[in-house]
């Protein structure tokens, strides 16, 4: 173990705690090595967790926490973080629907709230120095309460995973929670991030056993499944005609899309800190909702709005990925998106089959598609006589250029 620097003295610390090896090591490390008097753990349930949260709580107390808070923020997460990202069609590097990145600002906010409640002078997280999550936590917490210290012991302690396990064993703290696995997961209803083990070789196919939510193609149904999603102002509100809250709708679509093997992503991703990593995700519900939402926007938004929105969507994804959830640029883009969503109301039909999700129909009271203009049939309202004059002017700049530069 290297000799970690001792940070400014914190007395009472609220630690973001999952019960995994890193955050478990944080409790005794904060107390024994950094001289913190009191560690309070906070475990945020973002929804659909298979982890036994009562056991996580017990483990925190057994590891030396004075209080172990477990809080369910699942509906807030779906409503205020995941659904706005769907309105933004947010995909980092055009692929990653950002389940992990979306959860961090909510956890950061809850950490700060609990710190205030307990009169803590610092918050802590178990992120290492290689990842994005340290950036997301640190930046968000600084914005929410600049007076709170942010401690990141795992960034400084210089222990390997094995050394952490020894450190815990020496103190009589149980190491494993749940099943042992070669993979490192971060799971929430917006998707699962799968890292580590065989996935670190970007040439190797992700082993089938790393997936938790999506079926292998060989096991998907031989019949397609058609689902109808109703949107109101860009918010998915019904599934097959039944009204549903965001969380329930996301979870239901995870099940449907997942059983048809839709929603896997395999990519080489650029982290904020400059490292390229191979990442595997499964986000069936979120990706299906983005597919449907984008299609409905094509039906209801004008071309120039779509184009401007598309470029802002890339920026939105970069901001969220990079921990800038609370930045002024993100708020300004939010305002733009909200304005565009006023007319994004209607229904989209999706067809799931053998790993695919295809839009097979859409309808909207605000649809800009007009049959009478679009039809090739006889009854068309489009005035073909207006076309030649339009084309002449439309092509004029380029034809002048060609005359001058033959």
Residues in the chain: 406
Q: CB nearer to ligand ARG: give 193 or 357.
A: 193
Ranges within 71-130 binding ligand ARG (CB under 6 A): 100-101
- Measured distance CA(268)–CA(238) in Å, rounded: 34
- 282 is a contact residue toward ligand ARG (CB under 6 A): no
Ranges within 141-170 binding ligand ARG (CB under 6 A): none
For ligand ARG, the binding residue among 76, 133, 156, 282 (CB under 6 A) is 133
- Measured distance CA(215)–CA(291) in Å, rounded: 19
Q: Which of 57, 133, 294, 295 is catalytic?
A: 133
Q: Does the annotation count 184 as an active-site position? A: yes
- 319 is a contact residue toward ligand ARG (CB under 6 A): no
Provide, rounded to whole angstroms, the least separation between the CB of residue 398 and ligand ARG.
44
3-state helix, strand, coil in the chain (%, to 5): 45, 20, 35
Provide, rounded to whole angstroms, the least separation between the CB of residue 178 and ligand ARG.
15
Ranges within 185-214 binding ligand ARG (CB under 6 A): 186, 193, 195
* Nearest Cα residue to 13 out of 5, 23, 21: 23
Q: CB nearer to ligand ARG: give 283 or 296.
A: 283
- 132 is a contact residue toward ligand ARG (CB under 6 A): yes
For ligand ARG, the binding residue among 184, 215, 308, 315 (CB under 6 A) is 184
- Residue 161, number of CB atoms within 10 A of its CB: 11
Contacts of 333 (CB under 8 A, 6+ apart): 88, 312, 315, 316, 319
For ligand ARG, the binding residue among 76, 138, 156, 279 (CB under 6 A) is 279
- Measured distance CA(74)–CA(89) in Å, rounded: 21
- Residue 173, number of CB atoms within 10 A of its CB: 17
* End-to-end alpha carbon distance in the chain: 72
CA 231 to centroid of chain Cα atoms: 20
Provide, rounded to whole angstroms, the least separation between the CB of residue 267 and ligand ARG.
9
**Contact residues for ligand ARG (CB under 6 A)?**
100-101, 132-133, 184, 186, 193, 195, 269, 279
List residues with catalytic annotation.
22, 104, 133, 184
């Amino acid at each position: 173990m290297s000799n970690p620097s001792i940070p400014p003295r914190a007395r009472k610390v609220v630690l973001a705690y999952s019960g995994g090896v890193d955050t478990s090591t944080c409790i005794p490390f904060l107390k024994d090595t950094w001289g913190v008097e009191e560690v309070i753990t906070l475990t945020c349930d973002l929804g659909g967790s298979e982890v036994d949260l009562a056991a996580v709580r017990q483990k925190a107390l057994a590891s030396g926490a004075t209080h172990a808070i477990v809080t369910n923020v699942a509906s807030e997460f779906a409503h205020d973080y995941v659904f706005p990202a769907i309105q933004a069609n947010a995909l980092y590097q055009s692929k990653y629907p950002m389940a992990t990145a979306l959860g961090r600002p909510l956890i950061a906010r809850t950490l700060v709230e609990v710190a205030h409640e307990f009169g803590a002078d610092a918050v802590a997280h178990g992120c290492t120095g290689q990842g994005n999550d340290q950036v997301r936590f640190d930046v968000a917490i600084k914005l929410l309460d600049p007076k709170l210290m942010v401690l990141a012991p795992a960034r400084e302690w210089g222990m390997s995973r094995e050394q952490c396990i020894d450190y815990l064993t020496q103190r009589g703290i149980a190491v494993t929670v749940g099943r042992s696995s070669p993979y490192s997961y971060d799971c929430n209803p917006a998707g699962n991030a799968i890292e580590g083990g065989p996935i670190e070789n970007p040439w190797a196919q992700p082993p089938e056993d790393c997936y938790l939510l999506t079926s292998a193609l060989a096991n998907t149904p031989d019949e397609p499944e058609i689902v109808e999603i109703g949107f109101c102002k860009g918010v998915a509100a019904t599934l097959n005609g039944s009204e549903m809250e965001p969380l329930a709708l996301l979870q239901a679509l995870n099940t449907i899309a997942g059983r048809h093997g839709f929603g896997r992503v395999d990519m080489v991703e650029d982290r904020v800190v400059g490292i390229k990593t191979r990442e595997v995700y499964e986000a069936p519900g979120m990706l299906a909702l983005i597919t449907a939402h984008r299609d409905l926007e094509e039906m209801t938004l004008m071309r120039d709005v779509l184009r401007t929105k598309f470029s802002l969507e890339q920026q939105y994804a970069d901001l969220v990925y990079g921990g800038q959830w609370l930045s002024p640029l993100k708020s300004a883009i939010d305002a733009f998106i909200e304005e565009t969503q006023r007319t994004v109301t209607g229904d989209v039909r999706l067809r799931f089959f053998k790993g695919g999700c295809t839009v097979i129909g859409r309808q909207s009271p605000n649809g800009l598609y007009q049959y009478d203009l679009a039809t090739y049939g006889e009854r068309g309202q489009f005035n073909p006589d207006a076309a030649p004059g339009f084309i002449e002017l439309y092509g004029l700049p380029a034809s002048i250029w060609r005359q001058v530069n033959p």
